[in-house]
Amino acid sequence: MNPAGSIVFFTTASGAGYGLLFWLGLLRPLGLVPGQGLVALALALLLITAGLLSSTLHLGNPQRAWRAVSQWRSSWLSREGVAAILTYIPALLLGLALWVDAPALALAAGLLAAAGAVATVYCTAMIYASLKPIRQWHHPLVVPGYLALSAFSGAVLLAMLAAFAGGGAVPALLAILTGAGALLLKRAYWQAIDTAPPIATIESATTLGFIGKTRPLEPPHTEQNYLLREMGFRIARKHAAKLRLIAQGAGFALPVLLALLALLLGGMPAALALSLGAVLALGGLLIERWLMFAEATHTVMLYYRG
Amino acid sequence: MTCLPQPVPGAKKLGLVIDLDTCVGCQACATNCKEWNASGHSAPLPDLRPYSAGAEGVWFNRVHSYEAGEGAAGRTVHFPRSCLHCENAACVTVCPTGASYKRAEDGIVLVDHDTCIGCGLCAWACPYGAREMDEDAGVMKKCTLCVDRIYNETIPEAQRQPACVLACPTKARHFGDLGDPESAVGQLVRERGGQPLMPELGYQPVNSYLPPRNRSSLAATPEEAAPTEIKNPLLRWMDRVLSR
Ligand code: SF4
Ligand code: SF4
Ligand code: SF4
């Protein structure tokens, strides 16, 4: 599948934003995050909004985007839109509560915002996980993967901000745990999609299996088309292997190590270590999200390539 | 509304039956489809760079060719691919705007180009590659089953058939109600053992593909006359001379 830049950016940025909102909503009312928390909230909303706006760039008719919230009864994309919009309400209320220092409101709004963040990321993941023609997406580890990546990138960002505000071991600890968890999950996912059998074959796609092995002879057209551009994107195996290594190292292992280091160091060095960790994590995640598309294959290519 | 209509037993399911035995891969169906639909329900069907290198465009019907089997048992099969108007059409349910829909009255799957946002999700959800984006207008386009011909009272009744069906020189394409086992297409599917494409994905395509008939038993063996059987005296003499 073609890794459209706007969508890769959207899942990375919004994923991190919702992760940050989730942890802030849960931890700030409990007093586990130092400082007021308004900076973290602003960063979360900035990432979420930038991501959502970027995702509309991918549309053929962005001015009609409002129509996309109408079909929540059947469409995960529509549900994602509804969840994303609804989540703004408790998120902004949380901001208000933190601003005027109203702990009861902060607790309620924080919990609701956290729930909204989970719901939105879950809907995003289901858009992909519900697509049967793409076996790498229609996989039970895709939804846990989206949730884990979002939780991890959000935790790293919160740990960084908390370190700048002077302490707060809990977010750094969470970054370590979610990072290790996300890495394990991702490795299990890669292992699974590498060994899974195809969901369909050129024989079942053409009904010709009863004659024998089938192979394409003449293509239906000699130039490109939308299908080949959108669904025919292929990445060389050796590049995929390298990119997976980079994503694992830069995206997960190094940020986790840096968070460990930050726990030991404390103070300004911790803040710097976690800043580097956050940059690496987001960069690694961009690669990982890009791979998520580049490695996915669509059944329509059976007709073109066999 | 992008929920699928409730399945009703005996409901009309309009679709195509494609005979892989007689299709000669001439591209007439694809060409006539493009011609009709360039000005029909889903008009226009744009072309990008139509007069220069890399010309491409939106087509609702693409004719592939395959080789199946080996040696004498092998076959070259031409294979037209268009929307199958699936009963369990995920291309419809994934649509966030309601632009993609399946008609309850006859099962035709259509796109409302006034509400489509061009997100492309329906094309991802279609296993068969039956949807192509109109990149000029930013909306999705697909086979309409020639909804603007089959009910069109301004054209002679005999022509109220999809453009591709009318164009086929070998009558490899048939149109009708596949929900009715006694319709002409229903009987054809039963008699010839019509097959769905990629049934394992569960989309329940309405269109059906008739398998190529077995020809290997009919294959003629090349004739080689034995010299004693040569009746013509001149040829018999030549055979003797040449065999020395
Ligand atoms: S062939 Fe594709 S576009 Fe047509 S109804 Fe089936 S899933 Fe939808
Ligand atoms: S491209 Fe248009 S028809 Fe297809 S899912 Fe998006 S809005 Fe619906
Ligand atoms: S039914 Fe009409 S729109 Fe569909 S492939 Fe045939 S000619 Fe094209």
Nearest CA to ligand 2 atom 2: B116
pLDDT in tens, B27-45: 999 999 999 999 999 999 9
pLDDT, position B217: 57
Contact B201 A78 (CB under 8 A): no
Chain A: residue whose CA lies nearest to B94: A75
Does residue A133 contact residue A114 with C-beta atoms inside 8 Å?
A: no
Distance A287 CA to ligand 1 centre (A): 32
pLDDT in tens, B174-197: 999 999 999 999 999 999 999 999
pLDDT, position A129: 98
Nearest CA to ligand 1 atom 7: B126
**Residues in chain B, total:** 244
Residue B42 CA: nearest ligand 3 atom is: 3
Does residue B179 contact residue B107 with C-beta atoms inside 8 Å?
A: yes
Distance A195 CA to ligand 1 centre (A): 29
Give the pLDDT band (50/70/90) at residue B216. low
pLDDT in tens, B155-175: 999 999 999 999 999 999 999
Q: Nearest 5°: phi and psi at B135?
A: -75, -10
- Residue A236 sits in a domain of what CATH number? 1.20.1630.10
CB nearest to A61's CB, from B77, B117, B197? B117
pLDDT, position B226: 64
Indicate if ligand 1 lies below 6 Å from the C-beta of B141.
no
Nearest CA to ligand 3 atom 2: B146
Burial class (CB within 10 angstroms; exposed 0-12, middle 13-18, buried 19+) of B163: buried
Tally of structural domains, chain A: 1
Provide the domain limits for residue A13: 5-305
Chain A: residue whose CA lies nearest to B117: A61
Q: List all residues 6 or more positions away from A194 whose beta carbon is below 8 Å from its beta carbon.
A: none
Q: Please tell me the class of the B14-210 domain.
A: alpha beta
The residue whose CB lies within 8 Å of the most ligand 3 atoms, and thus the one to mutate among B18, B23, B37, B185, is B37
- Compute the C-alpha angle B237/B242/B244, nearest 5°: 105
- Find chain B residues with C-beta within 8 A of A218's C-beta: 25, 64-65
**Residue tagged 């057209």 (tokens):** A221
**Residue tagged 């586990």 (tokens):** A32
Burial class (CB within 10 angstroms; exposed 0-12, middle 13-18, buried 19+) of B151: exposed
DSSP H helices, A28-102, are 38-57, 76-100
Distance A26 CA to ligand 1 centre (A): 43
Indicate if ligand 1 lies below 6 Å from the C-beta of B81.
no
Per-residue pLDDT of chain A (306 residues; tens, 9 = 90+): 999 999 999 999 999 999 999 999 999 988 888 878 999 999 999 999 999 999 998 899 999 999 999 999 999 999 999 999 999 999 999 999 999 999 999 999 999 999 999 999 999 999 999 999 999 999 999 999 999 999 999 999 999 999 999 877 899 999 999 999 999 999 999 999 999 999 999 999 999 999 999 999 999 999 999 999 999 998 888 899 999 999 999 999 999 999 999 999 988 999 999 999 999 999 999 999 999 999 999 999 999 999
CB nearest to B2's CB, from A71, A200, A218? A71
Q: List all residues 6 or more positions away from A166 whose beta carbon is below 8 Å from its beta carbon.
A: A34, A35
Q: Closest approach of chain A CAs to the CA of B207, in angstroms?
A: 13
Q: Closest approach of chain A CAs to the CA of B241, in angstroms?
A: 46
Strand partners, B210: B19
Instruction: Give the ligand with the smallest distance to the CA of A59.
Output: 2
The residue whose CB lies within 8 Å of the most ligand 1 atoms, and thus the one to mutate among B14, B16, B131, is B131
Q: Nearest 5°: phi and psi at B179?
A: -80, -15
Chain A: residue whose CA lies nearest to B95: A75
Does residue A67 contact residue B98 with C-beta atoms inside 8 Å?
A: yes
Which ipTM did the prediction report? 0.95
pLDDT, position A237: 82
Confidence check: pLDDT of B10 > 90: no
Does residue A54 contact residue A10 with C-beta atoms inside 8 Å?
A: yes
Does residue B120 contact residue A230 with C-beta atoms inside 8 Å?
A: yes
Q: β-strand B62-68 against A214-218: which pairing, if any?
A: antiparallel
pLDDT, position A133: 98
Domain spans of chain B?
A: 14-210
pLDDT, position A186: 97
pLDDT, position B230: 78
The span from the CA of B13 to the CA of A154, in Å, is 49
- Find chain A residues with C-beta within 8 A of B81's C-beta: 220, 303
Contact B119 A68 (CB under 8 A): yes
Q: What does the pLDDT average to over B115-119?
A: 97
Is the CB of B189 inside 8 Å of chain A's CB atoms? no
Q: Which two tokens stand for residue A106?
A: 């902060």
Give the pLDDT band (50/70/90) at residue B1. low
CB nearest to B93's CB, from A1, A74, A227? A74
Is the CB of B115 inside 8 Å of chain A's CB atoms? yes
The residue whose CB lies within 8 Å of the most ligand 2 atoms, and thus the one to mutate among B117, B126, B139, B143, is B117
pLDDT, position A31: 86
